Amino acid sequence: MDTLFIPLSLAAGGLLAVQAGANAQLSKATGSPFAATTIQVVLAALLLLIVAIATGTAAAFGGLRAVPWWHAIGGVATALYVASTILVFPRLGAVVAVGLFIAGQMLASLGLDSFGLLGVPQQAPKPATLIGTAAVLVGVIAIVFGQKGATKELSGSKLGWMLLALVAGAVLPVQGAINGLLRQDLGAPFVVGTISFAVATLSMIVVLLLTLLTGGAKPQLGGLRTMPWWGWIGAVCGATYVTTVFVAIPAIGTAATVGLTVAGQQIVSLFVDRHGWFRLPQREISALRFAGVVVLLLGVAAIKVF
């Protein structure tokens, strides 16, 4: 049964690249990435609530009162990640920022597994795990520097923004671990997903209000009428990703889960960039970037297989 989570995690990671394309259209339609994310998490929460009701597991919401409060706040990570993304992308460039996010994810995952933190089953790091994690990081570096302009984006004194990107990446596996604890408490993954996205919704509303109070752009909803239908699928992708991650972590480990999702994301991103899917700019795939993805996949295989 556990082996089923390998292709599921890989596919969930691929959905992140699809989500990015869909959310880019939603952001364009609303004129605000914060508003777009708020809409997306609201829709994801509603979708998971419908699934929880349809599967007869909604009664698990009643157990929330007996759960430690911090088991229910995993959704805050969504707001932190989104806000950090919007802050660091223009300062570091998208390619470098994504590379740092992935590095943060892998380092946090290794820490969660090695020390058994937040209810994650403790797994002493084997040589293959360390080598695999190092290979993933090397692959990420190759992907970053294989993209045109990455070296220029790293110039200047940007250490603070780089650290923020690392932290933002690190909160994602932490979110998965916390949601895993909530699943142990309630025993209903779709209910856990609903709660996570409900908390994410409240967090994003706070972020959106703060941006409006500080002079940020007001959302314009008129563009939603002309947005392509696939601009709405980010919610489905996000709900699937979050639910898959917190279910997979106890089964195959944090490092393997995150490594597989990262690999899936990068594989699909190659096709998105090469063919300009989702109305995104077409980009040539350099040999270095392609080699980086191959090394990343070998690293994930080392983590999981050996």
Distance CA 89, CA 257 (A): 25
Please give the mean pLDDT across all residues of the chain. 86
Residue 128 CB burial class (10 angstroms; 0-12, 13-18, ≥19): middle
Look up the pTM and report it. Answer: 0.85
Could you read off the pLDDT of 193-218 as tens digits, one per residue?
999 999 999 999 998 999 899 887 78
Residue 31 DSSP SS3: coil
Sign of the CA dihedral with 219 first, then 220, 221, and 226 last: negative
Residue 148 is given by DSSP the state T
| Dihedral, 122, 14, 168, 85 alpha carbons, nearest 10 | 180
| Dihedral, 121, 98, 290, 8 alpha carbons, nearest 10 | 40
Confidence of residue 49 (pLDDT cuts 50, 70, 90): very high
Q: Looking at residue 93, what is its pLDDT?
A: 65
Higher pLDDT, 218 or 51: 51
Q: Which two tokens stand for residue 109?
A: 């995952």
In the chain, domain spans: 2-305
Higher pLDDT, 49 or 284: 49
Confidence of residue 90 (pLDDT cuts 50, 70, 90): low
